[in-house]
Amino acid sequence: MDYINYGDKIIYCAMYLYIGYINEATNFAESQGGGGSDTKDWGREKDENEIEWIRRCLRQATKMMKPMKRKGLSR
Protein backbone atom coordinates (compact mmCIF):
# COMPACT_ATOMS: atom_id res chain seq x y z
CA MET A 1 0.00 0.00 0.00
CA ASP A 2 1.28 3.45 -0.90
CA TYR A 3 0.90 5.31 2.39
CA ILE A 4 1.78 8.70 0.91
CA ASN A 5 -1.18 8.66 -1.47
CA TYR A 6 -3.55 7.29 1.18
CA GLY A 7 -2.45 9.49 4.08
CA ASP A 8 -5.67 11.49 4.15
CA LYS A 9 -7.76 8.32 4.28
CA ILE A 10 -5.65 6.94 7.13
CA ILE A 11 -6.16 10.22 9.01
CA TYR A 12 -9.95 10.01 8.50
CA CYS A 13 -10.00 6.45 9.81
CA ALA A 14 -7.81 7.43 12.79
CA MET A 15 -10.16 10.32 13.52
CA TYR A 16 -13.12 7.92 13.71
CA LEU A 17 -11.16 5.73 16.12
CA TYR A 18 -10.09 8.73 18.21
CA ILE A 19 -13.65 9.91 18.80
CA GLY A 20 -14.89 6.39 19.45
CA TYR A 21 -16.76 5.59 16.23
CA ILE A 22 -15.43 2.04 15.86
CA ASN A 23 -18.06 0.76 13.42
CA GLU A 24 -17.74 3.84 11.21
CA ALA A 25 -13.95 3.42 11.13
CA THR A 26 -14.32 -0.22 10.08
CA ASN A 27 -16.92 0.63 7.43
CA PHE A 28 -14.76 3.47 6.10
CA ALA A 29 -11.66 1.26 5.88
CA GLU A 30 -13.55 -1.51 4.08
CA SER A 31 -15.19 0.94 1.65
CA GLN A 32 -11.73 2.29 0.72
CA GLY A 33 -10.41 -1.19 -0.10
CA GLY A 34 -8.93 -1.97 3.28
CA GLY A 35 -9.53 -5.19 5.10
CA GLY A 36 -10.83 -3.64 8.29
CA SER A 37 -9.48 -5.09 11.48
CA ASP A 38 -10.38 -6.67 14.75
CA THR A 39 -11.31 -3.73 16.96
CA LYS A 40 -12.64 -5.82 19.81
CA ASP A 41 -11.60 -4.36 23.17
CA TRP A 42 -10.60 -1.14 21.44
CA GLY A 43 -10.55 2.05 23.47
CA ARG A 44 -8.44 4.44 25.40
CA GLU A 45 -6.66 3.10 28.43
CA LYS A 46 -7.16 4.92 31.73
CA ASP A 47 -3.52 5.90 32.22
CA GLU A 48 -2.78 6.64 28.54
CA ASN A 49 -1.80 10.22 27.71
CA GLU A 50 -3.22 12.15 24.75
CA ILE A 51 -0.23 11.78 22.42
CA GLU A 52 0.06 8.02 22.95
CA TRP A 53 -3.68 7.64 22.31
CA ILE A 54 -3.39 9.55 19.03
CA ARG A 55 -0.40 7.44 17.98
CA ARG A 56 -2.25 4.23 18.77
CA CYS A 57 -5.24 5.41 16.72
CA LEU A 58 -2.95 6.15 13.77
CA ARG A 59 -1.26 2.74 14.02
CA GLN A 60 -4.62 0.97 14.14
CA ALA A 61 -5.96 3.02 11.22
CA THR A 62 -2.91 2.12 9.15
CA LYS A 63 -3.52 -1.56 9.85
CA MET A 64 -7.20 -1.22 9.01
CA MET A 65 -6.55 0.50 5.67
CA LYS A 66 -4.26 -2.28 4.37
CA PRO A 67 -5.94 -4.52 1.81
CA MET A 68 -7.17 -7.81 3.23
CA LYS A 69 -5.05 -10.82 2.45
CA ARG A 70 -7.03 -13.48 0.70
CA LYS A 71 -7.08 -16.84 2.38
CA GLY A 72 -7.80 -20.10 0.71
CA LEU A 73 -6.76 -22.09 -2.28
CA SER A 74 -5.58 -20.43 -5.44
CA ARG A 75 -6.14 -21.99 -8.80
Domain locations in the chain? 7-65
Q: Are 20 and 35 within 8 A, CB to CB?
A: no
Angle of CA points 45, 9, 11, to nearest 5°: 35
How confident is the model at residue 48, as a pLDDT? Answer: 86
**Polymer length of the chain:** 75
Averaged in consecutive runs of 10 residues, what is the pLDDT profile of the chain (75 residues)? 76 88 82 70 81 90 78 63
How confident is the model at residue 53, as a pLDDT? Answer: 87
How confident is the model at residue 30, as a pLDDT? Answer: 81
Q: Are 61 and 28 within 8 A, CB to CB?
A: no
Does the pTM surpass 0.85? The reply is no
Hey, what amino acid is at 10?
I
